[in-house]
Amino acid sequence: MISLRQHAVSIVGIFLALAVGVVLGSQTLAADLLSALRADKSDLRQQVDVLTEQNRRLGEQAVAADRFIAGSSGRILGGALTDRSVVVFTTPDADPGDVDAVNKALEVAGAGVTGRIALTEAFVDATEGDRMRSAVTNVIPAGAQLRTGAVDQGSMAGDLLGLVLLLDPATGQTRSTPEELGLVLETLRGGGFLAYGETPVRPAQLAVVITGNGVAAAENGVGANSARFAGALRGRGAGVVLAGRAGAADQQGPIAVVRADAALAAQVSTVDNLERELGRVTTVLALGEQLNGGAGRYGTGAKATALTLAAVPG
């Protein structure tokens, strides 16, 4: 007969064996898990190394391409816009380096830049809409009328500035007097909507709207107002190109807004890689395309249909 003491010793022995088994088993499991994690870490490190090397090579190729295109820009753009005139607009987030590069490319192409106008934060900010619409309606040239569909601030301002700053595509003539043009520009500058230098701004055949990376595009309708401004300009002139960096083609960026609207996309050419030499050359070539009645979506961003386009006869 088993005594109570022997029974207790047996139970203790069983539990002790279980405990030892659990400890030994957990140690084996932990060792296996640790070994697997080390292997995964090694694999991930190798993948990172491979991707880093690929990124380095792609970066070097992009820099080499920029150098080649910059060195060839004279052959690519020479004569593309000879005897053509262009007015340059910039949104508040436009990169100064991009602006300078586009102006240089226009010069290489033989275009005459008739003015450089900076749109201010107030110009594209929807909270300033009522104030800007009031300013616009008070300086419409005598006998002129804004398009009835232009009701938002971007469209109204683009329609008015297109009317006084872009030559009539049908006749090649101005549609305002120098005094009327001066009044429009000075009124909008006085209201804090535009900024430009002391050199008089003159009418042009074409317009380029240079924007940035679209970081603040969703705030107060900034992206939409910039896009509609470009679209309204195009309605009054022979051609408009909206050019910016990759982010401007995403979400509510101005290029994205144009590309998402079938009517705007059919009229305004867009370029979304302006930080690269190819984008700058494409911007100028796209102006030539506009003169010939075409429009395109160029770059590497969302809804782009081609990286660039062939040279278009001026």
Task: Count CB neighbours of 131 within 10 A.
Answer: 15
Q: How far apart are CA 166 and CA 184, in angstroms?
A: 13
So where are the chain's domains? 7-77, 83-298
Q: How far apart are CA 13 and CA 17, in angstroms?
A: 6
Radius of gyration of the chain (CA): 31
C-alpha neighbours within 13 Å on the C-beta side of residue 298: 29
Burial class (CB in 10 A: 0-12, 13-18, 19+), 95: middle
Rounded Cα gap, residues 271 and 298, in angstroms: 5
CATH class, range 83-298: alpha beta
How far from the centroid of its chain's Cα atoms is residue 109's Cα?
23
pLDDT per residue rounded down to tens, the chain (314 residues): 556 555 554 664 565 555 545 545 556 766 777 788 788 777 777 777 666 565 555 454 455 556 656 566 678 899 999 999 999 999 999 999 999 999 999 999 999 999 999 999 999 999 999 999 999 999 999 999 999 787 899 999 999 999 999 999 999 999 999 999 999 999 999 999 999 999 999 999 999 999 999 998 889 999 999 999 999 999 999 999 999 999 999 999 999 999 999 999 999 999 999 999 999 999 999 999 999 999 999 999 999 999 999 765 44
State pTM to two decimals.
Answer: 0.81
Helix/strand/coil for 176? coil
Contact yes or no for 309/286 (Cβ under 8 A): yes
Asked if residue 257 lies in contact with residue 284, where contact means CB atoms within 8 angstroms, the answer is: no
Phi (first) and psi of residue 61, to 5 degrees: -65, -40
